[in-house]
Amino acid sequence: MKLDDKRVRLAAFHWLEEQVKIHGDALPRPILQYGFEIDGERVPLISQQGIFKPKVLEEIPLSIATTVHGPYDDRMSPGGLMHYRYRGTDPNHPENAGLRRAMAQGTPLVYFLGFVPGKYIAVWPVFIVGDNPEGLEFSVAVDDQSYVDAYARAAAGGFRIGEPEDEGRRRYVTAIVTQRLHQRGFRERVLEAYNRQCSLCRLRHAELLDAAHIIPDGDPGGEPVVENGIALCKLHHAAFDGFFLGIRPDYIIEVRQDILTEHDGPMLLHGLQGMHENRILLPRSAKHRPDQRRLEIRYEKFLSISAGAR
């Protein structure tokens, strides 16, 4: 049974908002594949196809997706728009034609970006704003989620959408969201590499784990890649960033001398002092281990700060 297009999209947006509150940014694929129910009909949000239209919709896809090891080289441009590859090489493939209709009608979609196997970060609402048949790709822009309320009013006939000023706002929002996605993706990839536990104390509660940069973001060598990251709980992340402790290029932890001789409570004793001269937990994959050159640069700064703290 076909349902009202706008009503389904609004229900999907609100359902995703609730799922993010429950699961966090990284949504498990199974819940997206099952989706939600409306008027007794199940509405999945994702499938094996990157461009996906559930059966309850007439013509226009509900979502697009990029997988970790997918066949397409979808790209995010920090200063402009996202680029999404066609399905295959035929510009008139039904799925490509569906996105073209979305562009013509200004229809909002969901973009699912896979950063680790089986989990996706959802971005909505997104719009198809350009079509490049020669390059076999669409241009995609993100809008502010407050647009969903405007879209709801449009569905009720009380709001005009697709105004000329949308372009500038969407380019700005897309640039901001793209930067956030890089950081969210960095966290997910680092936590996955470390089996979702702190590399110092082995804490496994994901809500209390961070992906710490070895070289800070924005510095030369500070790219959001797994080898520039270490999974740390929030305590040890703060201690690492504050140079209370350092990690040598041979993966051994050193606690600053003044911290080692300080007397406080059990948290200092077991949480910091007890880490001294331990070896960090390393990812199983050698390619995901902390880059030793980056560690050396960081460790030299740790030594400099330690000397000043004595």
Q: Check: CB of residue 230 under 8 Å from CB of residue 290.
A: yes
- Give pLDDT, residue 69: 58
pLDDT along the chain (310 residues), means of 10: 90 95 90 96 94 95 83 55 89 94 93 88 92 92 80 61 65 78 86 95 92 92 92 96 96 94 85 93 94 96 84
Strands (E), the chain: 26-28, 36-38, 41-43, 51-52, 63-66, 75-76, 82-85, 109-116, 119-132, 137-142, 209-213, 229-233, 245-247, 253-255
Instruction: Report helix, strand or coil for 35.
Output: coil
Segments making up each domain of the chain, as ranges = 5-190, 196-309
Between CA 81 and CA 91, with CA 85 as vertex, the angle to 5 degrees is: 120
Q: How far is residue 244's CA from residue 239's CA, in Å, rounded to a whole number?
A: 5
Three-class SS state of 8: helix
Instruction: Say how many residues make up the chain.
Output: 310
Q: CB of 25 within 8 A of CB of 90? A: no
Q: Mind listing the pLDDT tens digit for each residue in 57-83?
A: 999 999 999 887 554 455 555 557 888
**How high is the pLDDT of residue 42?**
96
| CA geometry: angle 119, 24, 33, nearest 5 deg | 40
Mapped onto helix, strand or coil, the DSSP state of residue 67 is coil
Residues with Cβ within 8 Å of 106's Cβ and at least 6 positions away in sequence, in order, are 127, 161, 162
278 token code pair: 């331990």
**219 exposed, middle or buried (CB, 10 Å; 0-12, 13-18, 19+)?**
exposed
- pLDDT (0 to 100) of residue 72: 46
Tokens of 219: 């510095």
What pLDDT was estimated at residue 159? Answer: 44
Region at 251 (left for phi over 0; alpha for psi -120 to 50; beta for the rest):
left
What value does the CA radius of gyration of the chain take, rounded to a whole number of Å?
23
pLDDT at res. 310:
61
Query: What is the distance between the alpha carbons of residues 304 and 1, in angstroms, rounded to a whole number?
Result: 68
